[in-house]
Amino acid sequence: MKYRQLGDSDLQVSEISLGSWLTYSGGVEREAAEQCVRRAFEVGINFIDTANIYGKGASEIFLGEVLKDVPRESYVLATKLFFPMTETDSGLSRVQIHKQLNDSLRRLQVEYVDLYQCHRYDENTPLAETMIALTEIVQEGKARYIGFSEWNAAQIKAAIEMTGIEKFLSSQPQYSMLWREPEAEIFPLWMKTASGKSSGRRSVKAF
């Protein structure tokens, strides 16, 4: 297994990560799911990606149970928030960021996640409120770094240009041989961000 440094952080992540969307939220029988996790560690995968919405918490609960005896420093754990968990719980408000992360930590049975990501952009919450809340959870030690998924170039640029807040470390867009849209605006913006490291900006890594 090959590993890469995630942005300018101290996180070394395997080039292949272990996802959990359609598998550990109920799509795969329990014994098979546990075998998948064990096999992932055997081949050197150390990066585990999940989200609170996967099975409405089921994926995080499963991972919390299967990883509870695995040394926490031996793997990199990422989860996300945005989509509705209940009729009143969704989005990226300050209240929701703190509430949803606390719920995720409880389900995952850990004290912190390495990467906490905004699953989508929240049009109903001021970006400043979101970024301040994300900064708070990093300062509290509940998340080591923050990231986002499926934000457009204008949204990313607005966050990058804010001062006095924690900077994004990662981006998780849809990207494949069949879907190459990020190449138009997103990738060039990342490259520009990386070149601005000397001015205090954090290098953003796509994965």
How many angstroms separate the CA atoms of 128 and 89, rounded?
A: 19
End-to-end CA distance of the chain: 16
How many angstroms separate the CA atoms of 59 and 205, rounded?
A: 25
Q: Which of the residues are catalytic?
A: 54
Q: Strand (E) positions, the chain?
A: 3-5, 12-14, 47-49, 76-81, 113-118, 143-148, 170-171, 205-206
DSSP string covering 55-83? TTTHHHHHHHHHHTTS-GGGSEEEEEE-S
8 Å CB contact between 112 and 74:
no
